Amino acid sequence: MRLRIEQRQEPSAQMRIAAPVIATALTFLAGSVLFAALGYDPLATLHAFFVAPINSINGLSEWLLKASPLILIACGLAVGFRANIWNIGAEGQLIIGAIAACGVGLFYPNPESPLLIPLMFLAGAGAGMAWAAIPAFLRARMNTNEILVTLMLTYIATLLLSFLVHGPWRDPAGFNYPQTALLPAAAMFEPFDYSYRLNPSIFITAVAVVIMWLFTDRSFLGYKMSVSGAAPLAARYAGFRESSAVWTGLLAGGAAAGIAGMAEVAGPLGQLSPQISPGYGFAAIIVAFIGRLNAFGIVLGGLLMSLLFLGGETVQMTLGLPAALTRIFQGILLFFLLAADFFIYYRLRLPEHA
């Protein structure tokens, strides 16, 4: 007897919600198998990976701290993804945002000015947008594939950062380490409590989530972008300009990533070094998909992904497992999620016997 795959008449609303849950469960399962294969007790390792890291107030603080940039960037990217604008260079936009914000923080004439944080915010957002404006212009005016351009620009951004911290911006008092001087206190978010690193920048993310929801679910511009994504010919038929979707999609991602970069330097980092992001820009792509390009889904996806980062760090420290596990888990999770999505539109059926 063979199972038959059949298209559903309407996409299944239950599966839409169930798919991420199933994918997460399968990822845990695959993780257990992997741990067992490596000779670790699966349950204990899963505990060490997913529970232990958030078992304390500090853990919770770190959890939110890492989830915040992921959620923020994913919100920005999802705006473009909905319109089939594939900005996969958020990592580069984050770096450029961080550079610009740090530049303002370091070189603003008055290091005690209360304007520093707002200026850095604007610099981060503006620089991220400017970096994303390059692929936007090239796609809208020059018909150039934005996937490859955003990626190439990420490599360039990484090299620019490396150049700055090894060269002109290197801290003269930094024992020759490739890093800038620490930002002045007025250029940093003040943590809620100095024992922990969580700081008010999470409110930026919270606001972004609400804006994202309003934009995609309620606004006419968001509607137009979803039409562009789902049926480009229908967008043209209705008279929606493709270039406006391209610009909006890329600039939203660039702004979000740039702000996330600013919040990183003005938050936990306090300075620039060659590695300022553990891959937030790439992980945010997965977050956007896990969250189904939907604001509240992205919040859950960001929390999950942040846990993967924390768990990877924790098992590296406590069990000596490699940090690369994080990326493996990210990949597996995305695989399962994409596969599970199939069942929103299709179902398996036993053939009926007449």
Sole residue written with tokens 């010919």: 233
Q: Which of 58, 111, 223, 244 binds other proteins (CB under 8 A)?
A: 223
CA 174/CA 327 separation, integer angstroms? 32
Closest to other proteins by CB, 203 or 342: 342
Work out how close the CB of 36 gets to other proteins at its nearest, in angstroms, rounded to a whole number: 15
- Among residues 155 and 203, whose Cβ is nearest to other proteins? 155
CB of 4 to other proteins, least distance (A): 7
Q: Which is nearer to other proteins, 71 or 161 (CB)?
A: 161
CB burial class (10 A; 0-12, 13-18, 19+) of residue 89? buried
CB of 2 to other proteins, least distance (A): 11
User: Which residues, at least 6 apart from 91, have a Cβ–Cβ distance to it below 8 Å?
Assistant: 154, 157, 158, 257, 277, 279, 280, 281, 282
Residues 47-106 that bind other proteins (CB under 8 A): 86, 88
Residue with tokens 């890093």: 179
Q: Tell me how far apart the alpha carbons of residues 123 and 158 are, in angstroms, rounded to a whole number.
A: 18
- For residue 272, the Cα-to-chain-centroid distance in whole angstroms is 20
Q: Is 33 in the site for other proteins (CB under 8 A)?
A: no
Residue from 115, 207, 221, 317 touching other proteins (CB under 8 A): that is 221
Nearer Cβ to other proteins (166/197): 166
Q: Which of residues 133-152 bind other proteins (CB under 8 A)?
A: 138, 142-145, 147-149, 151-152
Contact call for residue 237 and other proteins (CB under 8 A): yes
Query: What separation in angstroms does the CA of 208 have from each of 101, 125, 154, 203, 246?
Result: 19, 13, 23, 8, 20
Residue closer to other proteins by CB (options 136, 263) is 136
Each as own residue / partner, the long-range contacts of residues 175-179 (CB below 8 Å, 24 or more positions apart, any chain) are: 177/273, 178/273, 178/274, 179/271, 179/272, 179/273
Among 153, 246, 276, 310, the residue binding other proteins under the rule CB under 8 A is 153
Q: How far apart are CB 127 and other proteins at their closest, in Å?
A: 17
Nearest to other proteins of 50, 289 (CB atom): 289
The answer to whether the beta carbons of residues 94 and 261 sit under 8 Å apart is: yes
As measured in angstroms, the least distance from the Cβ of 213 to other proteins is 12
Letters for 297-336 (x = contact with other proteins by CB under 8 A, - = none) are -------------------------x-xxxxxxxxx-xx-
* Binding of other proteins by 285 (CB under 8 A): yes
Q: Which residues make Cβ contacts (< 8 Å) with residue 201, sequence separation at least 6?
A: 68, 189, 263, 266, 267
Burial class (CB in 10 A: 0-12, 13-18, 19+), 148: middle
Residue number, 202 or 340, with CB nearest to other proteins: 340
**What is the distance, to the nearest Å, from the Cα of residue 87 to the centroid of all Cα atoms in its chain?**
11
- Which of 108, 131, 282, 309 touches other proteins by CB under 8 A? 282
> Please, what is the minimum distance in Å from the beta carbon of residue 154 to other proteins?
9
* Cβ count within 10 A of residue 108: 18
State CA 104 to chain mean position distance: 24
Among 12, 32, 113, 162, binds other proteins (CB under 8 A): 162
Please tell me the distance from the alpha carbon of residue 148 to that of residue 141, in angstroms, as a whole number. Answer: 16
Among 2, 10, 39, 194, binds other proteins (CB under 8 A): 10
